[in-house]
Amino acid sequence: MNIQDNYLKNKKNIFFSENKDIQIHREKLINIFENDRFDKKNNESLRNINLKNFIDFKYKYLIPEETAVINNNQENSYSIVSVNGQCSSFKDDKIEITKIQDEDYDDFSKNNTIENNDHFVNLNSLFLNSGFKIVIKKNNDIKIKISNIITDDNLTIFQKNNYICEEGSSLNLIEEYENKNNSTSNILKVIKLEKNSQLNHFLIQDNSPDHNLIITTHSSCKKDSAYTQKVYNFSEGYVRNFHYSELIEANSEADLQGIFFLKNHNISNNKTFVRHLAEDCKSNQVYKGILNDRSKATYFSNTYVDQKAQKTEGYQLSKGILLSDNASYFSKPELKIYADDVKCSHGSTIGPIDENAIFYLRSRGMSKIAATKILISSFINEELSSIDNEQMAEIIQKKLVRYLSKVK
Amino acid sequence: MFLEIKDLSVKIENKNILKSLNLNINKGEVHAIMGPNGSGKSTLANVLAGKEDYEILNGRINFKDNDLFDLNIEERAQEGMFLAFQYPVEIPGVNITPFLHSAINSKRKRMNEEEIDNLSFAKLLKSKASDLGINIDMLKRSVNTGFSGGEKKRYEILQMSILNPDLAILDETDSGLDIDALKIVTDGVNKLKTKDNSFLIITHYQKLLDYIKPDYVHVMVNGSIVKSGGSEIAAEIEKDGFQKFQ
């Protein structure tokens, strides 16, 4: 079934189908698909994937409403179980959670600076069937943990989330994706940081081989705000991490980091893109990957510095270890600089594990396998030791041990 | 015989490096190998330690009644062989203390000895480091990372004193050391010497041999040992260079 047929068949169940403006926008998106015909050659968003899995998606509309659980056991700390992309409404004097509204969709689609040819973002807008919005109210310091649960096989979730950190607020957000269903989650998160706010965003991805996760975030930072994102991808299924940040007002910061651990035939596509649109802003984009067996990864990083964005500092780094001759990692860092007073750099190093280091460790009595494991751990040591949340550090450590146990 | 190298020929990337090399070392002896650049000294050290880049064309090596070629790199270390590297490898993110703790326990395990616990190991490490003038703070750092040339060599000797090998191979341990560091390093080596262990010292210069007295000195040229004798050979080389041996 082609995209248009699928859309028409399910239209009545898709969010905001009654909204005329949104309908017009969606028709435009269908035209993009019709004209582009998924030209894999020239489209970063389509690299390394089997399109059939995503075009002939199993669109089974079974999303139960309002089944999420929200706990607020500790002061300023919330635990949420989001079911099939949905979350119950909740409100207190610090946070507010609501179902996604027409205006949230509209707000994003009108201001969308994500390239139009990102087909997965467009599919998300076209087939939207779940989502919620969280607002952190002014000057509050909040911790939230969201467990994202998919309850059924053969389900395709098109989820949109809006996270808004109001002025002076601070949010520590941990999101877990650990699903074992044969299903696909296509999630777009639009994140807004108002003046002087801060968001530390951790994404832990650990899905089974049958679960596909396509996750896109679009964050925008106003004056003196800072967005930090750390992605830990241990999934055995396909994962796409595309993360865009815009520094729209002075003295704001974006730090986009990720580590992925691949094995078997697994594929991970990654992209970070920071647009510096104001003065005195800083950005950092660092992705590291460990690839075993026949796994494949891509990482595109991009820093755009507008001519207004003087005194920009923007750094990019990509590193990869290939544990097998059959693994591959393609990395492409880019800088586009239109201002003259900037400090920017990019670098990329990918290769097999350092044989001299292995020899050195073995010459002290360590087995080859133990030496390999210790070198893998050391490769990501900086990222692991910088996790200041004890509970999270423990979770990541356990997953790392599990990954290492399969390294031969 | 503790170490017996018989008729050893080795090549790397189609280049013959060692050519019918013979060398015997008994328990408790200190041997020095001197030779010009490119004579194959470091290749010999690497082949003994088990580096896999080389192709063994001919010959055999016995170490403590084992055919050395039957042992892989870590088994050789666990059997008591130790190579102090000419260029110790920097390994960011691998902390010195747990690495050395794991190394000593892998050796003890092979020897069917009880593993050393954290506390006893910390005490041992601290005491050995203090003997070598190594600052305790250095033990919190990553292996060789950000170390000066002298610190790296001192750290090699610290590892040697912890692992207490039966045969220690020192590959140009004197290179890059100032006179004070050389004295500390050689003192460390001399403290380890017993009648039960042996040393193979590879160097260009006699200076090192002023501090560590060898029982035998061998001259290595073009992949073979061309002359063997006592300390007088080192003095001869110091005076006339390697020219006359080539």
Tens digits of per-residue pLDDT, B62-73? 999 999 999 999
Q: What is the mean pLDDT of chain B?
A: 92
Q: What is the predicted pLDDT for the residue at A151? A: 84
Interface of A with B in 329-368 (CB under 8 A): 354, 356-357, 359-368
Q: What is the predicted pLDDT for the residue at A150? A: 87
Terminal CA-to-CA distance of chain B, rounded, Å? 30
Tens digits of per-residue pLDDT, B212-234? 999 999 999 999 999 999 989 98
Strands (E), A84-211: 90-91, 95-99, 130-136, 141-149, 156-165, 170-177, 184-193, 198-205
pTM: 0.89
User: HSE on the CB side for A385, CA within 13 Å?
Assistant: 9
- Smallest CA–CA distance, residue B76 to chain A, in Å, is 8
Six token digits for residue A179: 């699903």
CB A157 within 8 A of CB A44: no
Nearest to B94 among A368, A378, A382 (CB): A378
CB A155 within 8 A of CB A58: yes
Nearest to B107 among A365, A377, A379 (CB): A365
Q: Classify the phi-psi angles of A102: left when phi > 0, otherwise alpha if psi is within -120 to 50, otherwise beta.
A: alpha
A281 vs B175, more confident: A281
Domains of chain B: total? 1
Phi, psi of B133 (to 5 degrees): 65, 30
Chain B residue numbers with beta carbons less than 8 Å from the beta carbon of A379 are 93
Compute, in degrees rounded to 10, the torsion defined by CA atoms B175, B176, B181, B186.
-10
Q: What is the predicted pLDDT for the residue at A36? A: 67
Chain A, nearest residue to B159 by Cα = A364
Chain B residue numbers with beta carbons less than 8 Å from the beta carbon of A381 are 92-94
Q: What is the predicted pLDDT for the residue at A255? A: 98
pLDDT band, residue B166 (cuts 50/70/90): very high
Chain B, nearest residue to A385 by Cα = B93
Report CB contact under 8 Å: B106, A367: yes
B128 in contact with chain A, both atoms CB, cutoff 8 A: no
CB A276 within 8 A of CB A304: yes
Q: What is the predicted pLDDT for the residue at B11? A: 95
Segments forming the whole domain that contains residue B23: 3-245
Closest-CA residue to A136 (of A240, A225, A234) = A225
Cα distance between residue A394 and residue A375, in whole Å: 19
Q: What is the predicted pLDDT for the residue at A89? A: 87
* CATH code for position B80: 3.40.50.300
Low-confidence stretches of chain A (pLDDT beneath 50): none
Strands (E), A251-295: 253-262, 267-276, 282-291
Q: What is the predicted pLDDT for the residue at A355? A: 94
Chain A residue numbers with beta carbons less than 8 Å from the beta carbon of B104 are 365
Tens digits of per-residue pLDDT, B132-159? 888 888 888 999 998 988 889 989 999 9
Nearest to B89 among A357, A370, A381 (CB): A357
Chain A residue numbers with beta carbons less than 8 Å from the beta carbon of B73 are 359, 362-363, 368
Q: What is the predicted pLDDT for the residue at B8? A: 96
The complex's ipTM works out to: 0.95
**Residues 6+ positions from B184 with CB-CB distance below 8 Å:** B132, B133, B154
Chain A residue numbers with beta carbons less than 8 Å from the beta carbon of B100 are 364
